[in-house]
């Protein structure tokens, strides 16, 4: 994984996520880490008071100083060959990330999740649901109290629908191999009625992933997101991969009680992969 982008607002959760990503980068053989902070200015006219313009310039300078401080922190963690780039701009979170992704061939975005019971406390003041909707890249969400431990087991949540066209097989294989982790695939069934197509989807996912020798599990839970999180906790996984196809899973995930459960897991980063 050549390039990782870490979005930060310099909060405790953001700094913790940056440290986690730094440790993770050593296993992923990352070449470049981008430390990114964004903010939004109101448009200034040409006749704007000089004091306002000076304040804007001072703000940019201050943010760059904070980025340099964070760079120093993670420099002690990453391999010495890793190039750490600091960038701040006023594009706004979603636009800024997508622009940088094109310019630097970013393969993963990392953000922090506040330990408070408000999902709105996500770093950079952005709504998490909006970011997962608009960010085109794999998005790693790191809970506040997560400390890095070797990732020995990855939980891949699969809905067993159009597996061949929706599971990012190459990415899943690459990250599993690079982390030297065991892959466990889980399907959560609401238990309402039997869908015969699941049998064919099982055959397909075996063909796609059996090279990794994963375990396959089927569990019942009327709430899919809770089923995934409960299973991951019981199996003592270190990371969940979820494929975002529609709003259903994410809307449930960010329901207060489920979010609280996710944060409670503490050692369970969530990698959201979106279909392009």
- Yes or no: say if 229 and 265 are a contact pair by the CB < 8 Å rule: yes
pTM of the model: 0.85
CA 228 to chain CA mean position, Å: 16
State residue 24's pLDDT score.
97
CATH 3.40.50.620 domain position(s) in the chain: 3-143, 153-274
For the range 64-67, what are the long-range contacts, defined as Cβ-Cβ under 8 Å and sequence gap of 24 or more? 64/88, 66/10, 66/37, 67/8, 67/35, 67/37
**Model pLDDT for residues 132-142, shown as the tens digit of each residue:** 677 889 999 89
The CATH architecture one would assign to domain 3-143 is 3-Layer(aba) Sandwich (3.40)
**Model pLDDT for residues 108-161, shown as the tens digit of each residue:** 999 987 655 444 444 334 445 567 677 889 999 898 878 899 999 999 999 888
State residue 112's pLDDT score.
86
- 153-274 belongs to CATH 3.40.50.620: yes
State residue 239's pLDDT score.
95
Cα angle 76, 65, 271 (rounded to 5 degrees) comes to 55
Q: Please identify every stretch of the chain with a pLDDT value under 70, giving residue numbers as ranges.
A: 40-54, 114-130, 132, 193, 246-267, 275-276
What is the C-alpha to C-alpha distance for residues 4 and 108, in angstroms, rounded to an integer? Answer: 5
State residue 259's pLDDT score.
40
């Amino acid at each position: 994984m050549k390039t990782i982008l870490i979005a930060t607002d310099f909060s405790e959760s953001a700094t913790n996520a940056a440290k986690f990503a730094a440790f993770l980068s050593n296993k992923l053989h990352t070449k470049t880490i981008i430390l990114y902070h964004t903010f939004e200015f109101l448009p200034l006219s040409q006749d704007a008071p000089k004091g306002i313009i000076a304040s804007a310039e001072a703000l940019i300078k201050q943010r760059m100083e904070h980025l340099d401080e964070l760079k120093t922190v993670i420099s002690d963690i990453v391999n010495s060959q890793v190039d750490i780039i600091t960038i701040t701009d006023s594009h706004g979170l979603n636009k800024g990330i997508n622009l940088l992704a094109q310019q630097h061939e970013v393969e993963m975005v990392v953000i922090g999740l506040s330990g408070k019971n408000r999902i709105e406390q996500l770093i950079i003041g952005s709504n998490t649901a909006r970011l997962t909707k608009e960010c085109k890249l794999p998005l790693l969400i790191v809970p506040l109290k997560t400390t890095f431990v070797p990732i020995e087991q990855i939980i891949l949540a699969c809905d067993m629908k159009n597996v061949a066209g929706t599971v990012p097989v190459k990415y899943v294989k690459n990250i599993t191999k690079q982390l030297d982790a065991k892959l466990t695939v889980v399907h959560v069934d609401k238990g309402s009625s039997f869908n015969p197509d699941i049998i064919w989807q099982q055959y397909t996912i075996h063909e796609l992933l059996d090279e990794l020798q994963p375990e396959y599990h089927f569990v019942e839970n009327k709430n899919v997101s809770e089923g995934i999180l409960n299973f991951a906790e019981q199996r003592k996984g270190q990371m969940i991969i979820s494929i975002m196809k529609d709003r259903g899973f994410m809307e449930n995930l960010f329901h207060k009680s489920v979010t609280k459960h996710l944060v409670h897991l503490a050692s369970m980063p969530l990698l959201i992969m979106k279909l392009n």
